[in-house]
Structure 1
Amino acid sequence: MSLRPTLETRQAVPTMEGAGVHLHRAFGFQDPSELDPFLLFDDFRNERPEDFMRGFPWHPHRGIETITYVLSGTVDHADSLGNTGSLGAGDIQWMTAGSGILHQEMPQGNAQGQMHGFQLWANLPSDLKMTAPRYQDVEAKEIPEIFEDDGTRVKVVVGSFWGKTGPVDGIAADPQYLDIYVPPGVKKTFPVDTYRRAFAYVFEGAGVFSDASAPTGVLLEKEVAGEEVNIRDMSGNRTLIRFGTGDEVTVQAGEEGIRFLLISGAPIQEPVAWHGPIVMNTQEELQKAFSELRNGTFIKPAH
């Protein structure tokens, strides 16, 4: 087994999307080859309803798939196919935009007015850019969860892991999307397919992801023992960790434990022409998509 090196650790950046939703973006609208097949990852977490209630009104997508994972609050959605529904805490939705879809996503807070969820964009290969749009909505109770003797918990949102398979299927990027909690002081190793691009996103607690060239897990062992340790060596709230090649990832949890998403997918390695919510392979295809938006032919009839 070979440990994946940590190529980069960075904080998600505050930004605003939709009709005024405050969120943090871990990556997106920069180098699309960096985490191919993934294009964008947003963490929408707010304590104040005025920061998210205006939501994401009707807007188009083409050429991508999106996964929305809700931790608290709800997201009401509707689309040009006639689908409507509401995602609650722990629910997920995978939307294949394919040839084109118009939809809206309107967050609602929980009883305390809080909202928290994630949205990930995955690219579609050229032969599936114009596939028929579809939705997969999955309730929290359908997501398998693995409980380890050391207190580690893994929710298998998408893909297969440790003998469990998530309920979403037929995704072009063939992703693995895991929600992982490692308890305080525990060091844990997770397998990741060698041929996938992979990243972690920390959203609770803190820990150290060991680097193949310079393992830093010992720092956390010192902290657990009560010795002074440089907090900058730890990955905490809203931190993205981008990994190099290898077939496993090791993390040591800090004094509060750590919860993070571990996401990987098979790279597509195709040209990307991208503007806003539409991702194609060439500028000509991109221009055609926006032309169709203007002339009313963006939504294709069902075959």
Structure 2
Amino acid sequence: MTLTQPRAGERLVAGLATSDGAGVKLTRVLTNTLQRRLDPFLMLDAFGSDQADDYIAGFPDHPHRGFETISYMLEGRMRHRDSAGNEGLIEGGGVQWMTAGRGVIHSELPEQQQGRMEGFQLWLNLPAKDKLRDPWYRDIASAEIPEFEQDGVKVRVIAGESHGVKGAVQREHTEPLYLDLHLAPGASFEQLLPETHNAFVYVYRGALRFETGCTVPPQRMAILANTPGSDGVRLVAGDEPTRAILIAGKPLNEPIAQYGPFVMNTQAELMQAVRDFQTGKLA
């Protein structure tokens, strides 16, 4: 199928400089004010520094319930351990996909004292019927992520499908698409997307423009317009090598109730999550 009506960029988002864990410096690109607009995605953090003090304390033990976390490491080494007995080391180009489900306590700690650490963590909501499912975890090494190249573009397919290449992970209800795009100067890339899916692109090297003319500078997210009749997006790199992540998913259209690391559908469910954590039922 050929792209016939590409989406435009709706608006640009700069993100909020903040810190999390034990003081890791990061940019919160997708904040809770955008959760409705970008349903089923709840949060996107971008981090990148070659100063060890910005990341060395990592993310000690902390709980989650009701959603999935997808950590994509561009550079660096981070160790995951959780209360379900899972452990893994994420390295450059690798992904850790964790389904918190009914609850898990985990830590993410650097295994380096110097050098650059860079990557993303994306939070993907779970449908109400799956929020209390069993926790699940998978390490995906860089070599396990499907890739393809065409016309000056290399595509890493972390989730979903692109140009007939299936990604490392598939999800039935939210149908997430997660692509890491490497574009040569002036190269273009197009991706089919259902018009009902919410989508965004985050540029972390170089610059991109939509065919309609909107330019996305580095360290900016562009939300894609949900134009009736649209069938995808066409992106064109600027005058230098460009890298960006393109993310899309099917909205759940369910209530979102969040308190820190717990994301449920009602306030009563949130209160129960907090009680379960306080009484050791997530351990």
Q: Distance in 1 between matches of 2:102 and 2:169?
A: 20
**Bigger Cα displacement from structure 2, 187-196 vs 198-207:** 187-196
Query: Aligned match of 1:289 in 259, 273, 276?
Result: 273
Indicate conservation of the 8 Å contact 1:47/1:113, yes or no.
yes
Match of 2:221 in 1: 240
Match of 1:219 in 2: none
Query: Aligned match of 1:260 in 224, 244, 252?
Result: 244
Match of 1:271 in 2: 255
Distance 1:169 1:3, change over 3 A: closer
> What is the root-mean-square deviation in Å for CA atoms of aligned residues?
1.5
Shift of 1:92: 0.5
SS in 2 for 1:26: strand
Match of 2:75 in 1: 72
**Bigger Cα displacement from structure 2, 29-38 vs 48-57:** 29-38
4+ long deviations beyond 4 Å: none
Task: Trace 1:22-37 onto structure 2 (pairs within 5 A).
Answer: 22-37=25-40
Q: Distance in 2 between matches of 1:99 and 1:171?
A: 19
In structure 1, give the amino acid aligned to 2:108.
E
Indicate conservation of the 8 Å contact 1:207/1:257, yes or no.
no
Q: Does 1:298 align with 2:279?
A: no
Q: Distance in 2 between matches of 1:263 and 1:31?
A: 14
Q: Does 1:251 align with 2:254?
A: no
Distance 1:114 1:196, change over 3 A: same
SS in 1 for 2:39: coil
In structure 1, give the amino acid aligned to 2:175.
D
Indicate conservation of the 8 Å contact 1:207/1:254, yes or no.
yes
1:76-119 deviations in whole A, cap 9, x for unaligned? Answer: 01000111121111111110000000000012448x61100100
Q: Distance in 1 between matches of 2:152 and 2:112?
A: 30
Query: Aligned match of 1:147 in 146, 149, 168?
Result: 149
- What TM-score does the superposition give when structure 2 sets the normalisation length? 0.94
Unaligned runs of 5+ in 2: none
Indicate conservation of the 8 Å contact 1:61/1:100, yes or no.
yes
Shift of 1:170: 4.2
SS in 2 for 1:291: helix
Q: Does 1:81 align with 2:84?
A: yes
Q: Does 1:100 align with 2:84?
A: no
1:259-283 deviations in whole A, cap 9, x for unaligned? Answer: 1101111100001110111000000
Percent of counterpart pairs with the same letter?
40
SS in 1 for 2:273: helix
Indicate conservation of the 8 Å contact 1:71/1:89, yes or no.
yes
Q: Distance in 1 between matches of 2:64 and 2:205?
A: 31
In structure 2, give the amino acid aligned to 1:283.
Q
Match of 2:24 in 1: 21
Q: Does 1:50 align with 2:31?
A: no
- What TM-score does the superposition give when structure 1 sets the normalisation length? 0.88
Shift of 1:144: 1.1
How many equivalent pairs are there? 277
Indicate conservation of the 8 Å contact 1:108/1:115, yes or no.
no
Indicate conservation of the 8 Å contact 1:181/1:258, yes or no.
yes
Shift of 1:208: 1.3
Shift of 1:207: 2.1
Shift of 1:146: 0.8
Task: Trace 1:158-169 onto structure 2 (pairs within 5 A).
Answer: 158-169=159-170
Q: Distance in 2 between matches of 1:74 and 1:97?
A: 22
Task: Trace 1:125-144 onto structure 2 (pairs within 5 A).
Answer: 125-144=127-146
